[in-house]
Amino acid sequence: MTHPAIAAGMTAVITGAASGIGLAAAQALSAKGMRVALIDLPGPMLDKAAAALPGARAFAVDVSDRDGIAAAAATIAAELPPVTLLFNNAGLGIPSSALADRAAWDRTLAVNFGGILTVAQAFVPAMLAHGRPAAVINTGSKQGITLPPGNPAYNVSKAAVKAYTELLAHDLRNQPGSQVSAHLMIPGWVHTGMTAASGAPKPAGAWTAEEAVRFMLESLDRGDFYILCPDNDVTRPLDERRIAWAAGDLIENRPALSRWHPDWAEAFKRSLDGV
């Protein structure tokens, strides 16, 4: 089976496409006969990615640049087949703290959430208008769900992506005649330039970007909204227990982020019995 949004001759727009999961997605979709429009920061990695894929077009644009994204969307609409798949994947991770590092907060939110919003608003109206089956996939993170301490700006940005994508899915399914669906990609541990130093060997526990994309496309075929990726270190049942515990903080009025609270650490460990 193949989701009808993945249609030979149609266009897939991919942000963060020069490397990692974005590049793996571009390669997989190109292999299925789609034209691919690759959006990323300017540089040799983007040029190399586009040169390696038949009929690919590169757009050197920062996703936080609204005018640049609008111009790219206009060019794609004028010069490429209709867009039936939008993979809103660009993101970055900059160290941050809750009470400082404002520049890191501004940049992280501008790219990780602002870029998602800007790209969706630039492309989705035309996807609705052409009337063909289409899909939007936004890349979130498990860190936007369980909020592990360590990088609050990244976690907040990805929590915003989760909320926005849920609301977008609701909006799209209630648009008269809409054939566009929204989906939330939630990667596991994936070996990319964002998670490891350039040239570092892949740890045994991590998936490759190609494995993550394969899982994403299989989940899309099933119509999954939440594309919750496991990896070689964390299974789906373990993810489910962690997510359920995080939700339980509110339901049971536990301390915030009780999973990492010294008074609740043992209770959390017990909650994982049998996983």
Output DSSP code: residue 236.
Answer: H
Structure tokens at 253: 């009025």
- 229 and 261: one domain? no
Is 172 in the same domain as 207? yes
CB 190 within 8 A of CB 212: yes
Phi, psi of 121 (to 5 degrees): -70, -25
Q: Is 154 annotated in the active site?
A: yes
Cα distance between residue 116 and residue 8, in whole Å: 25
**Cβ partners under 8 Å of residue 136, min gap 6:** 86, 88, 120, 123, 124, 127, 168, 172, 180, 181, 182, 183
DSSP code at position 148 = -
The reply to whether 16 and 47 lie within a common domain is yes
d(CA 105, CA 114): 12
Taken as a whole, the chain contains a residue count of 275
Whether 214 and 119 map to the same domain: the answer is: yes
pLDDT, tens digit, for every residue of 194-247? 776 667 899 999 999 999 999 999 999 999 999 999 999 999 999 999 999 999
Q: Do residues 144 and 80 both lie within one domain?
A: yes
CATH code of 164's domain: 3.40.50.720
Query: Is 4 within the bounds of a domain?
Result: no
Same domain, 142 and 274: no
For residue 194, CA distances in Å to 19, 21, 22, 95, 113 come to 9, 10, 12, 12, 17
Q: Which two tokens stand for residue 202?
A: 């892949």
Total structural domains within the chain? 2
Q: Which member of 113, 154, 189, 245 is catalytic?
A: 154
Per-residue model confidence as pLDDT tens digits over 240-275: 999 999 999 999 999 999 999 999 999 999 999 999
Number of H helices, E strands in the chain: 10, 7
Both 94 and 228 in a single domain?
Answer: yes
What's the CA gap between 241 and 238, in Å, rounded? 5
> What local confidence, expressed as pLDDT, does residue 194 receive?
73
Residue 197: predicted pLDDT:
66
Q: Which residues form the domain of 274? A: 235-275
Q: What is the pLDDT of residues 88-141, one digit of tens each?
A: 999 999 999 999 999 999 999 999 999 999 999 999 999 999 999 999 999 999
Longest CA–CA separation in the chain, Å: 60
Q: Is position 6 within any domain?
A: no
Query: For residue range 28-79, what is the model confidence (pLDDT) as tens digits?
Result: 999 999 999 999 999 999 999 999 999 999 999 999 999 999 999 999 999 9
pLDDT per residue as tens digits for the range 139-198? 999 999 999 999 999 999 999 999 999 999 999 999 999 999 999 999 999 998 777 666
